Structure 1
Amino acid sequence: MKFPKLILALLIVAVTAQSCVSTKKYKELNANYTQLQNSTRDLSVKYQTSEQQLAVANGRVKSLEDQLASERANVKVLQDALNKCLNSTNQGSVNISKLVDEINSSNKYIQQLVNAKSKSDSLNMVLTNNLTRSLSQQELSDVDVKVLKGVVYISLADNMLYKSGSYEISDKAGATLSKIAKIIKDYNTYDVLIEGNTDNVPITQKNIRNNWDLSALRASSVVQSLQTTYGVEPKRLTAGGRGEYNPIADNNTPDGKSKNRRTQIIITPKLDQFMDLIGKAPDAQSTTPPVTPPKQ
């Protein structure tokens, strides 16, 4: 360092000049020397302190740089997460929009089904009224008319049609059969199936083997009556028996057995014929006023 060299030079000058300088001058030089030593010592302490402070500052700078790098990494992670969230939100908005469209489409389809069902129910009611308007209130208690999928079902109770335990047509069935024959003849292009049904009680008559025979014979009796007595074309008629195997009620109760013992007249028009049937009423000659059919 420069400070020791300076002190040494001053010392040499002081020694050399000792003999030729005064005591006062010597003291001044010595005082200056002491002051310089103190100054040198203070500067050395300050220098060491500065070095230590610089090291601490460098450490803090390094720590801050590390923290800054960490925060930048965190910011990048957060930005990536935000971008992903925004993309998901946009995709979610698209999905929600599609879902809303699907819901609206489904609601529209459901409404179409409801309208179609209401229209179908209305058409069925009109057709039922057309078919039953010539029947009296008493006859309607033994005759059930339904329209299912364009097919007309006229169900006749066995106690109205036949003698007990027999397939012969009873006398009291004539008035009702004549009106049903009139309906069938008015719609003379439709096929007609006469279907016999029984309960599950075995038949005991010697000339009838079982309920299959009984149901088929009863259907055949109605077919032949419609043909021979009321003039319905036989080529339009089909007789069939289903025995006890097409029940509509529980055979364990008397009321259920009574409902299962029935003969159905099934009118099966094509679609265009069915639509014509909706708007056409039979030409009834009866003076019986129209009546409201029983609830289905």
Structure 2
Amino acid sequence: MKKLMIIGASLAIMCSSCVSKKKYADMEAKNKKTQDLLNTATVKLNECLDEKASTTSELKVLRDQVGTLKNTNAALLNNVGNLATLSTKEAENLERSLESIKEKDLQIKTMNDALNKKDSVTLALVTSLKGALGNLADEDIEINVEKGVVYVSISDKLLFRSGSYNVSSRAKEVLGKVAKVVNDKPDIEFLVEGHTDNVPFSNKGLVDNWDLSVKRATSVVRVLQDEFGVEPKRMTAAGRSYYVPIADNSTAENRAKNRRTRIVVLPKLDQFYNMIEEGMKEASEKGQ
């Protein structure tokens, strides 16, 4: 009996030992599995931490870029505003410049029109004079235009006898033709100039060449007034003596050229300026 009890106790102990080893093995296996899971989780956690750090860094870079873009955008908007302001001012300046150019063009056109009109009047006068005096020899009378002024130069031999200031009958025929032209153009005024050569001259009632040149000019003016009805207020008489020669006085031929009477058609500057002023006013009104 005792034997049996010993055997039973031994069996019990053996069974108990077997169970404990099995449980231990199971626990070992579970522990290993748990450790593997923990290692895997630790690896994943580290990967997540690394990814978080990288993402945080990228996020900072993106935020910096967003800040830079915002600043750039604000600067661009400001520049656009400035450009719009500049464009408006430039447009206004350009408009003013164009208006100024347009006004100057109108002024130039007005002046050109006035000059053309004046030239037309001058040309018409020259044509009329040449038509009236065309049958005379060139050496006796010359008609030319200098700087818009018409000059009619009549030789001494046609108008006066040597040393005389009395107009000859032949000269009156010439002066009558000149008078017809100027009477047809009542707006023009003219100067009658007497010219002599440089040979000293003195005669009863005349002191020198000055006196002779003036007397000849006034004689022509009187004939135009008294015999051909030219209004005296349109004429001026002047003597130039021998101080405005057209040739050297060294030869008789040249001295004959210098002895002359010249009719100078005076430009009416007030009329010319009035034409310009009226044109400017008209241009200004058109511009508005």
TM range (shorter): 0.5 to 0.7
SS in 2 for 1:22: helix
Asked whether 1:214 is paired with 2:209, we answer yes
Q: Is the 8 A contact 1:196 1:243 kept in 2?
A: yes
Q: Distance in 1 between matches of 2:62 and 2:250?
A: 95
Tell me the percent identity.
27
Alignment of 1:1-296 (within 5 A): 21-139=19-137, 141-145=139-143, 153-158=151-156, 160-161=158-159, 167-168=163-164, 174-181=169-176, 183-184=178-179, 187=183, 193-197=191-195, 203-205=198-200, 207=202, 213-224=208-219, 227=222, 231=226, 236=232, 239-243=237-241, 245-246=243-244, 262-266=260-264
SS in 2 for 1:31: helix
| Structure 2: segments with no counterpart, 5+ residues | 1-15, 272-288
Deviations 1:67-117 (A, max 9, x none): 111122122222322333333334333433443333333333333333322
Q: Is the 8 A contact 2:153 2:260 kept in 1?
A: yes
- 1:156 deviation in Å? 2.2
Q: 1:44 to 1:198 in 2, by over 3 A?
A: farther
Amino acid at match of 1:121: D
Q: 1:252 to 1:95 in 2, by over 3 A?
A: farther
Q: Is the 8 A contact 2:200 2:209 kept in 1?
A: no
SS in 1 for 2:136: helix
Q: 1:269 to 1:174 in 2, by over 3 A?
A: farther
- 1:36 deviation in Å? 1.7
TM (norm. structure 2) is 0.61
Q: 1:114 to 1:229 in 2, by over 3 A?
A: closer
- Which one has a larger percent helix, Structure 1 or Structure 2? 2
Report which stretch shifted further, 25-34 or 92-101.
92-101
Q: Is the 8 A contact 1:158 1:263 kept in 2?
A: yes
Q: 1:122 to 1:46 in 2, by over 3 A?
A: same
Q: Distance in 2 between matches of 1:183 and 1:123?
A: 16
Amino acid at match of 1:122: S
- 1:30 deviation in Å? 1.5
Q: 1:175 to 1:269 in 2, by over 3 A?
A: farther
How many residue pairs get aligned? The number is 246
Deviations 1:93-146 (A, max 9, x none): 343344333333333333333332232222223334444544243255533446
SS in 1 for 2:91: helix
Q: Distance in 2 between matches of 1:81 and 1:256?
A: 81
Q: 1:226 to 1:93 in 2, by over 3 A?
A: closer
Q: 1:259 to 1:47 in 2, by over 3 A?
A: farther
- 1:45 deviation in Å? 3.0
TM (norm. structure 1) is 0.60
Q: Distance in 2 between matches of 1:167 and 1:46?
A: 139
- 1:218 deviation in Å? 2.6
Amino acid at match of 2:209: L
| Structure 1: segments with no counterpart, 5+ residues | 1-17, 274-296
